[in-house]
Chains A and B, each alone.
Chain A
Amino acid sequence: DGGITQSPKYLFRKEGQNVTLSCEQNLNHDAMYWYRQDPGQGLRLIYYSQIVNDFQKGDIAEGYSVSREKKESFPLTVTSAQKNPTAFYLCASRNTVTSTDTQYFGPGTRLTVL
């Protein structure tokens, strides 16, 4: 089945730790995105990448880092500089070839800081 996978489903972090969230897609999509979702707020864009080895900051990039070494993978690192990292993190991808603009989402990772 084609789709987007995120792991782990739940992640617990201690203060001062960096953690990496995985996002993999086998849809052959060029563009990938990371969003953060907090209760009572809309999804907010953290980082996005439209091509391998290139990525741009979104609206709330501070305290996060990404890499895009392979087309299928777009991992997100939540660093200790992120002051309030507890949230639901969503990865999405888009087919730039068909230019439909539609983003498809993975199942999400819930990060909790202990």
Chain B
Amino acid sequence: EDQVTQSPEALRLQEGESSSLNCSYTVSGLRGLFWYRQDPGKGPEFLFTLYSAGEEKEKERLKATLTKKESFLHITAPKPEDSATYLCAVITGANSKLTFGKGITLSVRP
């Protein structure tokens, strides 16, 4: 059974304090790994897709990386508006079903 584990469950940062969110996975035949951002009471917003180990993608203060066992979402000099829950999901098999982790709630204090 595919498993996705995100850590830590919650993270509190001071504005400008860089850090990383972890997503480890145990799957058979990874086709892709996805990062989403979710604000309270809203639907997830797509951030990145990573397909192969060594791949990196960046968007503003966020950078996602992928290894054979895990992915990191690096947040550089975060701002309060980066506060949200960050979801990681993997896709395996031919039916494009996503398996999600429980999410990491990030809070950035001004």
Contact = CB atoms under 8 A, between A and B. Distances in A.
A102 B44 CA distance: 12
A103 B42 contact: no
A42 B101 contact: yes
B45 to A, nearest CB: 8
Nearest to B9: A40
Given A42-B87, A101-B32, A108-B42, 15 more contacts: A4-B43, A6-B43, A41-B102, A42-B89, A42-B99, A43-B44, A44-B100, A50-B96, A90-B43, A94-B96, A102-B34, A103-B34, A103-B98, A105-B36, A105-B43
Residues of B in contact with A, size category: 20 to 34
Contacts of B83: none
B100 A43 contact: yes
A43 B87 CA distance: 9
Contacts of B91: 101
B97 A58 contact: yes
Contact of B43 (A58, A100, A106): A106
Nearest to B5: A42
Interface of B: 4, 31-32, 34, 36, 41-46, 49, 87, 89, 91, 95-103
Given A43-B87, A107-B42, A100 B49 contact: yes
A80 to B, nearest CB: 26
23 contacts: A6-B43, A31-B96, A40-B102, A41-B102, A42-B4, A44-B100, A48-B95, A48-B97, A90-B44, A100-B49, A101-B32, A101-B91, A101-B96, A102-B46, A103-B46, A105-B36, A105-B43, A105-B44, A105-B46, A106-B43, A108-B41, A108-B42, A108-B43
A94 B49 CA distance: 13
A34 to B, nearest CB: 12
A100 B32 CA distance: 9
B60 to A, nearest CB: 19
Contact of A102 (B41, B49, B87, B103): B49
